[in-house]
Amino acid sequence: MTDTSQATIPRYPFSTPERLDLDPRYAALRDQPLVRVQLPYGEPAWLATRHADVRTVLGDPRFSRAAAIGRDEPRNTPRQQQTGILSMDPPEHTRVRRLVAKAFTARRVEELRPRTRTVADELVAAMVAAGPPADLVAHLATPLPIRVICDLLGVPVSDQDRFHTWSEAIVSTTSLEPGVIQHYLDNLLAYMAALVARRRVEPADDLLSAMVRARDEHADRLTEEEMVTLAAGLLAAGHETTVTQIPNMLYVLLTAPGGWATLRDRPELVPTAVEELMRFIPLGATSAFARYATEDVELGGVLVRAGEPVVVSIPAANRDESVFPDADRLDLTREANPHLGFGHGVHHCVGAQLARMELRVVLETLLDRTPGLRLDVPEEELTWKRGLLVRGLVAMPVAW
């Protein structure tokens, strides 16, 4: 075991993310112990890139999210943001998460599948009717996850332009000025508080009404602020990452040799393909949500002392050759796939089953209705988003 310190701490992320390329330095780091890095703001942190180390940081209770409160947390924005449930440890985290977890069970998600398929059919039919070229982001990737999460939560889909704009504050690093981020967050929370008030008067069969009942009948389960913050987070996170990942997946399938053709010939591979795409695509543009060691911990042969923060690179862990043979190759038939695309541990994405279902439905619908799908512009002309925690396309012109 070594107690490592570095005179020169490298800046992190190591480079500006380009498309869906993974910085080659990650591969080199997996042959080394943890390294110290300096994010744009906050104190230096250890960076974990190996699959086993990342799982430990995300799953071991000796690494705490709540301990970040009051610290100069490593981060990508000048101002520290309150991250609600993401800043909690058990048992507080368990108390809050339990109230929404039942809305995202496999059974409940399967009940949503027919409605999701209907929405996907409608959106793709409208896109086909409009004729090529069509922007897949605008026609399908953005509206589908928004409609699904609105149905689940009980949010008027007619308000989507407003809350979709405000939701960028959740994933922005430099795309928005700090004042704009706070303004958007304030708007999102005020909007959700108003919906909560409406559900108290007009309850419905949706998740927001269930949260209001839990709050009003058992005040010890959820505070008013926790409820509003949690609901706003579910609305934003419940669509923002899926909106981004849908075109990412299509981009990879349409540009990787044999990608789309493989699924067109073998549509039964869609579930396996979704898992492989979640592994292969480096959705995160940087690392966030540092965990603090609550005691001295040996990790990757390095002594992480109590009070030191650790950030993880999930994209790097998902390319770990010791876990994923030929990890840099897209293999749509890969069976053993313990990827960390939805995280791990107590903060494992509560909407993972919902996201999986939506991604599968999108691919199945496009394979059925537009089997000849292709990019309508040269790959180098595509525009990628900048200044966000996630990578994604601004637009994706396609034909079929």
Residue 12 located in a structural domain: no
Confirm whether 15 is domain-assigned: no
Go through 70-90 and write b for each residue having 16 or more CB atoms within 10 A of its CB, e for each that does not: eeebbbbbeeebebbbebbbe
- Give per-residue pLDDT as tens, 197-239: 999 999 998 889 988 888 888 766 778 888 898 889 888 887 8
Burial of 151 (0-12, 13-18, 19+ CB in 10 A): middle
Q: Is residue 149 scored above 50 in pLDDT?
A: yes
Q: Which two tokens stand for residue 174?
A: 């430099």
Give this prediction's pTM: 0.91
Is 71 domain-assigned?
Answer: yes
- Bond from prior residue into 309 cis (ω within 30 degrees of 0): no
Look at residue 9 and tell me if it is in a domain: no
Task: List the structure tokens of 353.
Answer: 């089953």
5 vs 399: CA distance, rounded Å = 53
- Residue 199 sits at φ, ψ, to 5 deg, of -70, -25
- Domain membership of residue 184 (yes or no) is yes
Domain that holds residue 239: 25-399
CA-wise closest residue to 61 among 293, 395, 373: 293
pLDDT confidence of 6, banded at 50, 70, 90?
Answer: very low
Higher pLDDT, 101 or 127: 127
319, 327 in Cβ contact below 8 A?
yes
Tens of pLDDT along 49-108? Answer: 999 999 999 999 999 999 999 999 999 988 777 678 889 999 999 988 888 887 788 888
Task: Report if residue 353 sits inside a domain.
Answer: yes
263 lies in a domain?
A: yes
Total domain count, the chain: 1
Tell me how far apart the alpha carbons of residues 176 and 156 are, in angstroms, rounded to a whole number: 26
Of the candidates 253, 252, 279, 239, the residue with the CA atom closest to the CA atom of residue 141:
239
Report the amino acid identity of residue 280. Answer: F
CATH number (domain holding residue 316)? 1.10.630.10
Looking at residue 82, what is its pLDDT?
A: 67
Strands 297-299 and 309-312: unpaired
Quick check: 19 pLDDT over 50? yes
Can you tell me the distance from the alpha carbon of 230 to that of 195, in angstroms, rounded to the nearest whole number? 13
Q: Is residue 155 part of a domain?
A: yes
- From 120, 170, 118, 171, select the one nearest 145 (Cα to Cα): 120
